[in-house]
Amino acid sequence: MSVNKVREILAQHGRLSVPVETLQNDSDLYGAGLTSLATVGLMLALEDGFGIEFPDSALSRKTFASINAINDTVSTLAAR
């Protein structure tokens, strides 16, 4: 389940102000304290973890807005 791996990476690199376990898959990560600086670390870790590269077109707030959103993008990129 890639969503569990996303949660794991998010817990390690997201620097959120609340524990990842308390978040729903559709919770707003920006509201949970995701900053732009943390997004960089998160993106790089997702790239390493899933062996993918985020294209520039995927680099927007929406991509990192929730666990589901990240998982959707990661799954799409990994399927390529």
Partner 1 sequence: MNMHSNERDTEFAALLAKVHAMGRDIIAPLAAEVDRDARFPREGMQALRSLKLLGAYVPTELGGLGLTLLQIAKISEVLGHYCGSTAMIFAMHQIQVACLVHHGMSSDYMRAYMRQLVTEQRLVASATTEIGKGGDLRSSICAIEIEGDTFSLTKKAPVISYGVDADDIMVTARRSANAPASDQVHVLVHKSDYTLEPISGWDTLGFRGTCSAGFILMCQGNVNQILPTPFSEILGHSMHPTAHITWASLWLGIASDAMNIARSFVRNEARRNPNTPPISSLRLGEADAVLQTMRNDIHAAAHEYQALLDGDDADAFSNFGFVIRTNNLKLNASRLIVDVVGRAMLIVGISGYRNDSKFSLCRHLRDAYGTGLMVNNDRILNHNSTLLLMQREG
The residue ranges that bind partner 1 (CB under 8 A) are 16-18, 28, 30-37, 39-40, 43-44, 53-57, 59-62
- Whether the CB-CB separation of 29 and 14 falls below 8 Å is answered with yes
Question: In whole angstroms, how close is the CB of 68 to partner 1 at the nearest point?
Answer: 15
**Do 16 and 10 touch, CB atoms closer than 8 A?**
yes
Residue closer to partner 1 by CB (options 22, 79) is 22
User: 18: which DSSP letter?
Assistant: S
Alpha-carbon distance values, 8 to 11, 22, 55, 80 (Å): 5, 13, 22, 23
Q: How far is the CB of 5 from partner 1 (least distance, A)?
A: 20
* Least Å from the CB of residue 33 to partner 1: 5
Q: Which is nearer to partner 1, 3 or 58 (CB)?
A: 58
